[in-house]
Amino acid sequence: MSAAAPTRRIVVRLRRLGVFAAAGVLIAAGLVGWAYWRVHGRTLIEFRIYQNSEMIQFSDFGEPPQFAIWLEDPETDRLQTVFVTRRSATGDWEGKAECPAALPRWFEVYREETGKDGLPTPDAPAPDAVTGATPTAGQFACRIEVEPGSRWICWIEVNIAADFSEKHPQYNEQTGIEDTHMSGQPSLLYRGEVEAVVGAQITPAPYGQTLPDTLRGEMKASLDDITTARDIFTSVEIRVIRPPVKLF
């Protein structure tokens, strides 16, 4: 065997490795391109909420707040729930059949969406797709995909149980009315308008409060009688993003 034979074999093997490496690069590039193609032209509205953990800890029950997020189409008035905490979504109130004062405005949204007259119950809960465990950590985030360029009114309703105050006591001595649902201050509503253009961002502030003991979630814009409930959320951010790129 000549001395050149081993050299030729090495060259052949190197060429084969080069072909395999080139094929690997092409496959990887194809996967990356496919991953980007999948999210091209798609938009998400992302909600980021930062809760006041200290306030939650020192409330009478020490439970995280109940809250719901939904979208409203300003042209058609169509409502779409994005997220709602588990107790409100399932009617699991630990000893109470129902708690209409928890999120009265979202309960009306639920009735409009489903055509039902009552509230969610353990036997007839809200859809799993929008239901989530009540967040206990300080930060919470969720997303929903929308049509690029579409416009939306974003709503968030929040309430923490038993956050009594001078204006909203457990028992009102003047009227003789007791807060049997242990709701405390009424639920607060955040509102913001956004266009589904990537990079858009808004920071909504409290917009109003629901009226206690109303059946359809009526609200008023004044917050003069609201104290600590303003601090349940330390901040609320709504932004429009692209879906994250995932290879697998």
Judge whether 185 lies within some domain. yes
Mean pLDDT of the residues in the chain: 84
Q: How many structural domains are present in the chain? A: 2
User: How many Cα neighbours within 13 Å face the side chain of 51?
Assistant: 21
- Closest of 173, 183, 176 to residue 210, by C-alpha: 183
Judge whether 11 lies within some domain. yes
Judge whether 190 lies within some domain. yes
205-231 pLDDT, tens digit each: 899 999 876 667 888 888 999 998 999
Residues 86, 50: contact at Cβ < 8 Å?
Answer: no
Which is more confident, 136 or 68? 68
In the predicted structure, residue 241 carries a pLDDT above the cut 90: yes
Residues 22 and 121 in one domain: no
Judge whether 194 lies within some domain. yes
Residues 20 and 103 in one domain: no
Residues 193 and 109 in one domain: yes
Residues 90 and 189 in one domain: yes
Judge whether 246 lies within some domain. no
The residue segments making up the domain with residue 6 are 1-40
Residues 209, 187: Cα–Cα separation, whole Å: 6
- Closest of 205, 104, 190 to residue 155, by C-alpha: 190
Q: State the pLDDT at residue 5.
A: 62
66-101 pLDDT, tens digit each: 999 999 999 999 999 999 999 999 998 876 778 888
